[in-house]
Amino acid sequence: LGLHWVAISSFGNFTVTEAQRAAVQSGAGICDTGDVAMLIYTSGSTGEPKGIVYDHQHLLHGAWFWAEEHGMSESSVQLFKSPYFWAVMEWEVFPALIRGGKLVVASVDGHKSPQYMAQTIEKFHVDVLMIAPSVLDLLLDVAQGSLRGLRVITTVGEPLTSQLANRVAGHRGLSVTLRNFYGASESSCTVYTVPEHGVDTDLYPRFVPAGIPQPHVSVFIVAEGSFELMPPGEAGEICFGGVLAARYWQRPELTAAKFVPTEDFGRIYRTGDLGRFREGALEVVGRLDRQLKVNGVRVEPGEIEAVLMKFEPQQTQQEECLPLLPNGKVNYKSLKAMADKEASQAQETVMDSLGQMKSMSRAAILENAVIHRCYAFWMLGVLTDHYAWCAMSTDPKARSSTTRHLMTL
């Protein structure tokens, strides 16, 4: 990787000034913005881990503008609870440190317990919190006033629903700025700040917008398979330009496919997400790899979900757990397999050939239909043979015409 590193066995009374002086004297601490700073693995929505190489420019950009957007200073206290292999840990670790603030390190697996997080936030006076929306929802259930000290909450990792945003805005024990970060581990981010009064659910019935790009970051909406810009309001693939990760680790083919040099936009990263600009803000509407085609027409499941969410459910079914990736996101491949299995085992009432009502699975119904068609075809052969025999028995001269008639069948 070409990393410059120093092993420290003990700290003792070791100041930052002394560390800087030692680094300059040895020459080991002088890095260029393009030098490798970090290698982190991510699976995104695919479940297939891939290493992403961060250079110092990308790492510093993310940490610096997080600190800027969150107004971090020496008095800031941020909770570090995310697994170290999750790319967003950079926003939990470095911003507080570069501003001289405090970093509260949670216990191992502390991020899995909303009760533990609520107690830690209150005990150490945490004022900046980064959290996944689904975990934030659970945290609000157990908070009971322990979140009063929070100043900023930023959601990452998955879409922030308008319902949850309005729950935060209307929570009596909270007086916070709520932000939504959108981006990929390979790129920088866009930011949306939720209004104090909440989100207009008529305008955003399902999710809040992804927002506007950070400084030194560009976002383009292009047609699938090309770099033609889509008109405002039209959906296309979301591409990031500006400050990006260096490459994938030992995956040159994947690097070439996702990090693409262009004449008009420079080097861009293709996210595989579908989005559009509306009211000046970026909206994420789905994934290219989740699109369906029905009679040649492209259908986006996310848009269907958005429409369904407008209606009150007539019936609900609670799942014990959804299949998740290591970073906490839903594993759509496993979820689809679960749905396919449940659908194949679903029972339907059908009438058999004897007029009896039976409860059968869909797979059994399909198999039964194939067998019945084969049986019907075989019976057709029996009847035509019988017809030919009867015709020839009554009138031998009808043999040729009967044969011709059967051939047309």
**DSSP one-letter string for 387-402:** HHHHHHHH-GGGHHHH
Q: What is the pLDDT of residue 25?
A: 60
Q: Tokens 């006076």 map to which residue?
A: 125
**d(C-alpha 158, C-alpha 302), whole Å:** 13
CA distances from 155 to 3, 340, 387 (A): 31, 31, 76
Q: Which residues of the chain have pLDDT under 50?
A: 1, 3-14, 16, 354
Q: 165 Cβ partners below 8 Å, 6+ apart? A: 178, 180, 194, 198, 199, 208
Q: What is the pLDDT of residue 11?
A: 42
Q: What is the pLDDT of residue 149?
A: 95
**d(C-alpha 134, C-alpha 132), whole Å:** 6
H or E element at residue 334: helix 332-345
**d(C-alpha 262, C-alpha 227), whole Å:** 8
Q: What is the pLDDT of residue 20?
A: 54
Question: For 159, what's the count of Cα atoms within 13 Å in the CB-facing half-sphere?
Answer: 21
Instruction: Please name the amino acid found at residue 198.
Output: G
Q: 75 Cβ partners below 8 Å, 6+ apart? A: 101
**d(C-alpha 141, C-alpha 112), whole Å:** 14
In 3D space, the residue among 199, 150, 191, 206 whose CA is nearest the CA of residue 173 turns out to be 150
Judge contact between 164 and 133, C-beta under 8 A: yes
Q: What is the pLDDT of residue 12?
A: 46
The fold of the 16-308 domain, in CATH, is Rossmann fold (3.40.50)
